[in-house]
Amino acid sequence: MLILFDRHHIIAFNNYRKLYNHLENLERNKGKGKWIFARHSHQRVLSFYQYIRDQEIPVQIPGKLDSPEAVDVLEVVNGDVTKPIFIPVTPDVDVIALQHQWCQNYCKEHNYALFEISKPASFKEIDVG
């Protein structure tokens, strides 16, 4: 279980996927798109680069995107849209761990406190007298 403390709320999430959905919605509502964690098909990314080249804009395909092992490509932006990171999804890439790290980075950058607890605690009032 994950507990997120922001300036005004305390929110519990069952897993990182739900936390990610929440953070993505926050970012989408801002309309800025400065924080992105998206999975694109390999063909879509190559088509995009081909389009850019056809417009005679000098661009170089980031390393390994043309790898025959790559099926999809992760686009990761951590607050600076001028520095996107493209990661070919190959068998050795742990997409889930990268998504967890993105969530943690987002929370840290936005001054949210994030706590991961392995077992929900049972809380009860006690008399301390």
Structure-block tokens of residue 66: 């043309």
| Full residue range of the structural domain in which residue 79 is found | 32-99
pLDDT value of position 84: 81
Please state the rounded mean pLDDT for residues 87-100. Answer: 90
Alpha-carbon span 104 to 115, nearest angstrom: 10
Number of domains in the chain: 2
In a domain, 84, yes or no: yes
Mean pLDDT of the chain: 81
In degrees and rounded to multiples of 5, residue 103 shows phi and psi of -60, -45
Q: Which residue has the higher pLDDT, 127 or 44?
A: 44
**Which of 6-15, 17-26, 82-91 is predicted most confidently?**
17-26
Q: Are 13 and 60 found together in one domain?
A: no
Alpha-carbon span 89 to 92, nearest angstrom: 8
Q: Are 37 and 90 found together in one domain?
A: yes
Q: Are 39 and 13 found together in one domain?
A: no
Q: Are 62 and 92 found together in one domain?
A: yes
Reported confidence tier of residue 29, pLDDT bands at 50, 70, 90: confident
Alpha-carbon span 72 to 89, nearest angstrom: 5
Q: Are 36 and 23 found together in one domain?
A: no
